Structure 1
Amino acid sequence: MQLGVGTRASVTLKPVRYEFANPARDEWDDNWLVISGDVSAADTKWHFAVPCLMTFEAKQISTWLRSVADGGIPVSVIGDAGVVASLEFTEPNLAFSVGSYQDGSISVRVHFALESRPVGQSCDGRDQFWVEVAATAADLDLSAAEWDKALLAFPDR
């Protein structure tokens, strides 16, 4: 899944493997996915690969992207404590929020925490660091389809 390709900031995420290769008959341990990310922002670029999404959580991303494309997710306001993401997961490494809807362009924030945040990056007292990417509804629908296709290799175990 690629967001913001060809713009000032971009985020590429993909599931690369289960955290544990051999199922142990434990719903939680069996379904952790390692997510690889490449992020480029105005002042930094970084890569990460961490087990941070459950298979069932990963499926929520494409649904969320399609809802954003349809204008169905409200804009998250930045307050004193930062941004409250509209899509969060068990592990806080990744989260998502909408920055704005304007003239056919949608601003999507991808939030990074813990091991997925750039090394040494200050987060100004927030728990998360985010990158804001510009996209169109068509871009988000395409990203959702790419994400769904990548997840086919990782069914719930």
Structure 2
Amino acid sequence: MRLIGSDGHGVELGVVGYQFPDAVDPRQRQSWLVVEGSAHCSQGTWSFRWQALTADDAVELARWLGRAAAQPSGVEHDDSGQLDFTEPNLAFAFTWTHTGLVELRVSLDLEFSPPWQRQARSGEPFVVTSRLTAESVLTAATEWAAEIKPYPPADDANLQ
């Protein structure tokens, strides 16, 4: 999934597999998704990879991106504009700008931090901001939904 603005700032994210793909217990096998990506900002570019989302988190991210794209312009930031997860490596927030773009702020903490800001404790994430059209955010939501399709939430996987 690509969340890069016209200035080249933003993030790219993908899922590369489960943290424990060979675990016998399906709950452990499907517990964490390994997220790989890169970040681009005025200070530099870096890559990261870590088990940062559950399958449920990944589904919620796709839904959240869809809501961000559908939000009417001119609406001020509220709690629905934020998305946090159990693992603090990744968090999202959005607002709409006065020019009708979605300002997307991706917080990158711990293993996702830039190499010049790595720290042992969470709580001071590096934030990468990109300004995207609603269409770009909706495209990213669609890309992400396709990306995570092989990694259904545990309840869905048990139904298959």
TM tier, smaller? 0.7 to 0.9
Q: Distance in 1 between matches of 2:46 and 2:78?
A: 25
Q: Under a length normalisation based on structure 1, what TM-score does the superposition of the two structures give? A: 0.84
Relative distance call for 1:156 and 1:126 in structure 2 (3 A) is: closer
CA-to-aligned-CA distance 1:68-110 (integer Å, 9 cap, x gap): 1111785269xxxxxxx71000100000011443222111000
Q: Aligned partners of 1:126 and 1:154: how far apart in 2? A: 28
**Structure 2 matches for 1:17-96, cutoff 5 A?**
17-25=17-25, 27=27, 30-71=30-71, 75=77, 86-96=82-92
Judged with a 3 Å threshold, the aligned counterparts in structure 2 of structure 1 residues 128 and 76 are, in CA distance, closer, same or farther, namely farther
For residue 125 of structure 2, the aligned residue among 107, 128, 143 is 128
Tell me the CA shift for residue 23 of structure 1: 3.4
Return 94-103 or 130-139, whichever deviates more: 94-103
Number of residue equivalences: 149
Is the contact between residue 36 and residue 49 of structure 2 (CA under 8 Å) also seen in structure 1? yes
Q: Which amino acid aligns with 1:149?
A: A
Give, in whole Å, the separation in 1 of the partners of 2:82 and 2:76: 8
Paired with 1:134 and 1:33, the residues of 2 have a C-alpha distance of: 27
1:104 to 82, 96, 100: 100
Q: Percent identity?
A: 28
RMSD (CA atoms) = 2.5
Change (3 A) 1:86 1:28: farther
2:17/2:33 contact within 8 Å kept = yes
1:147 aligned to 2:144?
yes
- Whether contact under 8 Å (2:11, 2:38) holds in the other structure is yes
Long gaps (5+) in structure 1: 78-84
Q: Distance in 1 between matches of 2:141 and 2:62?
A: 4
2:45 & 2:130 partners in 1: Cα distance?
14
Between the aligned partners of 1:99 and 1:93, the Cα distance in structure 2 is: 21
